[in-house]
Structure 1
Amino acid sequence: MPELDLNGVRLLPGHLDAKAQAALVGTVRRICAAAPLMQHVTPRGQPLSVRMTAAGQVGWISDRQGYRYAARHPGGTDWPPIPDLLLRLWADLLPEARAPECCLVNFYGEGARMGLHQDRDEADLSQPVLSVSLGDDGLFRVGGTARGGKTRSVWLKSGDVAILQGAGRLAYHGVDRIRFGSSPLLAQGGRLNLTLRVVT
């Protein structure tokens, strides 16, 4: 399928075939075994509906102290390394970018969503963010660089890749809902979103 542009965010539909998707699910299982998925809370104490973990030099966490990157999993263990499959994908699609330092793993169960937000906890906002969708379809919504503007939405399917770069790097984006059970990739259903980013 042809590449799409959604308010500056590049979408690569069906970029990963079924074999690559299955291989990535295997790598995510190993990440979660080393650094279990957690349900973080906002600084106000509200639980997020998405469960999270990470791989790389640092991982993103959220608690009463705020949103930030941390050198270790909240359970006290080191984050596992970013899988080679994802490092190769980054190098293929973003050869001019610095190597990613974090892979955030988000798991959307039934009813989970992610409100509109910007990815701006990183030090160098000139570096891109690469996002991989696995499993159930997710309704992805993208706005501009300011709140309250017009948004556009598209259903992301398993194997789709999105790149936030250039004009789209600070676009507000989120996932309004998932079609639970729409993909056979995850045996119990749900959606995985893997986002690679340069942090420092």
Structure 2
Amino acid sequence: MGGVDDALFRLPAVEVAPGAVHLPGHLDGAAQRELLDACRAWARPPAGLRTVRMPRGGEMSVRQVGLGWHWYPYGYARTAVDGDEAPVKPFPAWLGRWARRAVEEAYGDGSCTVPYEIALVNFYGGKARMGMHRDSDERSRDPVVSFSLGDTCVFRFGNPDGRGRPWTDVELRSGDAFVFGGPSRLAYHGVPRVHPGTAPLGTGLRGRVNVTVRAR
């Protein structure tokens, strides 16, 4: 059935909270493969995929690599200051364009001009999880854009007042995007669970990759 537009079969966007919008199937198969290939290149050293160590000595179960700026608890640097100290890999302009398109789709705004310049690539392998946190280390309060690849996860989206309820659990599948800004820009969120073996066939990916794009 060549020529059928995949967008015809996509689920509609869902506003999970004010300013927080889930975009199911935002990336088609070709775009997912392109982004995953890029992630595999970014994960290589120098300034490649690393385990993040918290100030009190704990380690995040999610491994991470930064583009444009290197995030470490709790700030940004131009080098991998808590890794091999190599210069951070550049942020690709095309990824900024992808993020702006997601914002435009989420908010129905055809003129997004956010100067995106940071991406955090998170790899969830095995039993990796992400605790409830908020993205507050940036000066900018422009919307955050998240792209999901690989295994389906439960994404828990809370509120700006604390880590507890109320929250909403959303299943994010490979190709989904999630945008949060406005009154939800500083909402707490996390990933309590990943469903192993749910990645689309042909990706060669065991686990989940999440690419989060931000303005600084």
Instruction: Structure 1: give runs of 5+ residues left out of the alignment.
Output: none
Q: Contact conserved, 1:97 with 1:128, CA < 8 A, in 2? A: no
- Aligned positions of 1:113-192 closer than 5 A: 113-125=129-141, 127-147=142-162, 148-183=164-199, 184=201, 186-192=203-209
TM superposition outliers: structure 1 runs of 4+ over 4 Å: none
SS at match of 2:190: strand
The TM-score, its normalising length taken from structure 1, stands at: 0.91
Aligned counterparts of 1:178 and 1:195: Cα–Cα separation in 2: 17
Q: What's the Cα RMSD here?
A: 1.5
Larger Rg: 2
**What is the identity, as a one-letter code, of the residue corresponding to 2:169?**
S
Give how far 1:188 is off.
Answer: 4.6
The TM-score, its normalising length taken from structure 2, stands at: 0.84
SS at match of 2:59: coil
Identify the range of structure 1 (5-14 vs 132-141) with the bigger mean alpha-carbon deviation. 5-14
Aligned counterparts of 1:137 and 1:185: Cα–Cα separation in 2: 15
Instruction: Structure 2: give runs of 5+ residues left out of the alignment.
Output: 1-10, 104-110
Aligned counterparts of 1:46 and 1:185: Cα–Cα separation in 2: 35
**Residues 1:42 and 2:54 are matched in the alignment:** yes
**What is the identity, as a one-letter code, of the residue corresponding to 1:91?**
R
Q: Contact conserved, 1:134 with 1:185, CA < 8 A, in 2? A: no
**Residues 1:72 and 2:79 are matched in the alignment:** yes
Task: Give me the identity figure in percent.
Answer: 38
Q: Contact conserved, 2:150 with 2:205, CA < 8 A, in 1? A: no
Identify the range of structure 1 (31-40 vs 42-51) with the bigger mean alpha-carbon deviation. 31-40
Identify the range of structure 1 (84-93 vs 141-150) with the bigger mean alpha-carbon deviation. 84-93
